[in-house]
Amino acid sequence: MDEVQATNNHAEPATAKYTLNEEQEKKEIIRHYRALLKSLRPKLKKGDKELIRQAFEMAATAHQTMRRKSGEPYIIHPLAVAMICVEEIGLGVRSTICALLHDTVEDTDISLEDVEMEFGIEIAKIVDGLTKISNVIDTNTSQQAENFKKILLTLTDDPRVILIKLADRLHNMRTLDHMKREKQLKIASETVWVYAPLAHRMGLYSIKTELEDLSMKYMEPDAYREIARKLSETKRERTRYINEFIRPLKEKLNAGNFDFEIYGRPKSIHSIWNKIKKKAVAFEEVYDLFAIRVILNSPAEKEKEDCWKVYSMITDEYNPAPERLRDWLSNPKSNGYEALHTTVMGPQGKWVEVQIRTKRMNEIAEKGLAAHYKYKEEHNEEDRFDKWFGQIREVLSSPDTDGVDFLQDFKTSFLAEEIYVYTPKGEVKMLPTGSTALDFAFAIHSAIGTKCIGAKVHHKLVPIGHKLRSGDQIEIITSNKQKPSEDWLNLVVTAKAKNKIKDSLREEKRKVAEDGKYILQRKLESMGAAYSHHNIEELVHFYKLTSPLDLHYRIATKYIDLRELKEFHVLGDKLEIPRPKPVQVEPQTEATPKNFDKKDSELIIFGESSDKIMYTLAKCCHPIPGDDVFGFVSTGKGLIIHRTNCPNATQLLANYGHRVVKTKWAKNKEISFLTGLKIVGLDDVGVINKITNVISGDLRINIAGLSIDSKEGLFQGTIKVFVHDKEELEELVSRLKSLNGIQTVDRFETES
């Protein structure tokens, strides 16, 4: 029988019910277990087999009454996760034991103490880390950020935690079909938001790619299917082209006596989709649908030399695009990735990306961190991962990393691609892409950051917000009179710089607030009121502030005028605050809480019941009936409807899942919705007439706005129209595309 797919223990539906009898099930479980042992065979030492069996039996017993909604025994999931750890990540025996036990402490009667007693403190710590990660999901956001910090602290103690979690997430994504639609959206968003970038940072490129593709399959199903279909249709043609491209290179490499492999790899669906969106081109115009990979079997001392020799042979045969050369041999990425990438002009005028690496580099590219540590032990190399973990530890130790911004800061600081820059003495510093001179100043030392007034890049004066590029050499200019200001937070991307700026601003605020505190004390005493906890809390509440510090600061900076206090009464020594009259809220902007009872929210249908449930349409994506949508309970604005492919959807679904409600449209031809189209075509006489005839004449659709710009024989137009639903919009797009001279018609988000 084929390998049985498992899902998360919340898995859904009644489709494809598991029909094996008890005996067959046992055989199926044993088959998975034996396959796992077979994969581990090269890594087994004396006594390991017994430990793995012990972990398997412990997990199987603990989960024995648990089944998925598909009917499948739960134990198949931990077995599948362990298999991914061994086969796809390259982890060993202890990680296998942790993968088998990863859900036991959270979901069964087994305690952490039981695990520690059986397998020791190291394995118990990893299982504890995995249990904490599971608790991140479905909590409020500030709690989520707090939990995420705990995960990262565990990660920096033992990176295996995150590697096993990535294996768990990958298996859940591979088997996401069993989940409800809203759960699919939440898990897919979270995956593309945190887990795929984390896999990338761990050097697990194939896992990162698969996580992105699987997320896209659920978040952008139509686009995913369309690209998959086109890739399948063009496969034969691509294979023919790859063979034609490779033939002369093989001859050269053979003549040079290289031991090598050379093959073509298709780009992932997600990366093709990104290119289509970013460059606004059709699938047919994406030139690098595949990459050619050359893998050399070279001795360690000749690796660099051989890669450059092969680069020379390739560029002798095909012309390179110099600006597309990426040299990660001289400066490997911080996740250990080493390779040479170049883009060359191949036959038939097509650009082709070529990646050159050795077998060792390839293993690091495929297995990431696990392979990296293996080679580190063999060659005792300086370790970039340790530096990265050190940076994370430093940021996590700051008291101010519990805000809602934490996840976003972590992404930009630690999951982005990096650049390499140099100090005046030639020391290399690694910073995330987008870093500024100010980030660099804080990276050197906090004291240098807070006093930074400018910088010199390659001896040329630049402002503190100057964006750095790889290879820049930077000298920081400081002044003892300089102090950080609020706008500095917009000039930095690294978490370290942000935290240090916030610390400095807080310290400055405290000093100023002392004056405000003194002014307030005198004012209250003159009124006969006490400077007491009760009175301060009353004033904080009255001025709608968050803390006494804010109150004192605003008094000191004259933002609050204490003359208003004469309207207050004093009873004894207590202030009696005048209460503002209640404000009548318009139903369109604020929905009543009863509308968001979780039970009801599952049943909201837009269109027919729009009179019962107040909602607004998101300005960022302007959904129309027929679009795949979700509702988001916003504080202050009630229910807001977003498209699932809205630019903000990923962040909302990943970080605020508990505020997302399931929604769908009902047919309602009475209401029209504003949407927009962008049209590009050849500037021809009467083109506007043709377009308006189709919209107003043929389809009787109301036009809200029309603007056309023409330049050098091409025109670009934007049209805002009122449509009833997605079908009507698709019909309009199809009719416009069929007009002579029209090149592209795309939906865009209207501003109003």
| Active-site residue list | 106-107
614, amino acid identity: M
Paired residues of 581 in beta bridges: none
Other C-beta atoms closer than 10 Å to the C-beta of 538 total 17
Residue 46, SS3 per DSSP: coil
Residue 295, SS3 per DSSP: strand
Nearest to 29 by CA among 68, 70, 64, 69: 64
Residue 508, SS3 per DSSP: helix
Maximum separation of any 2 CA atoms in the chain, in Å: 100
| Polymer length in residues for the chain | 752
Nearest to 298 by CA among 246, 379, 372, 360: 360
571, amino acid identity: L
Structure tokens at 64: 């024995």
Please report, for residues 116, 280, 477, 641, the alpha-carbon distance to residue 679 in angstroms, rounded to integers and kept in the order given: 64, 12, 50, 26
- Scanning the structure block, which residue is given the tokens 């400095």? 504
Nearest to 496 by CA among 415, 566, 393: 393
Quote the radius of gyration of the chain (alpha carbons, Å): 30
633, amino acid identity: V
| Residue 234 backbone zone (phi > 0: left; psi -120 to 50: alpha; other: beta) | alpha
Q: What is the 3-state secondary structure (H, E, C) of 682-733?
A: ECCCCHHHHHHHHHHHHCCCEEEEEEEEEECCEEEEEEEEEECCHHHHHHHH
Residue 599: CB partners within 8 Å, gap ≥ 6? none
Say how far apart CA 728 and CA 739 lie, in whole Å. Answer: 17
Residue 562, SS3 per DSSP: helix
Strands 638-643 and 615-617: parallel
Residue 616, SS3 per DSSP: strand
Phi and psi, residue 574, nearest 5°:
-105, 145
Say how far apart CA 130 and CA 168 lie, in whole Å. Answer: 10
- Scanning the structure block, which residue is given the tokens 């998101």? 618
Give the helix ranges, DSSP H, for 8-103.
Answer: 22-40, 48-62, 76-87, 93-101
Say how far apart CA 362 and CA 564 lie, in whole Å. Answer: 71
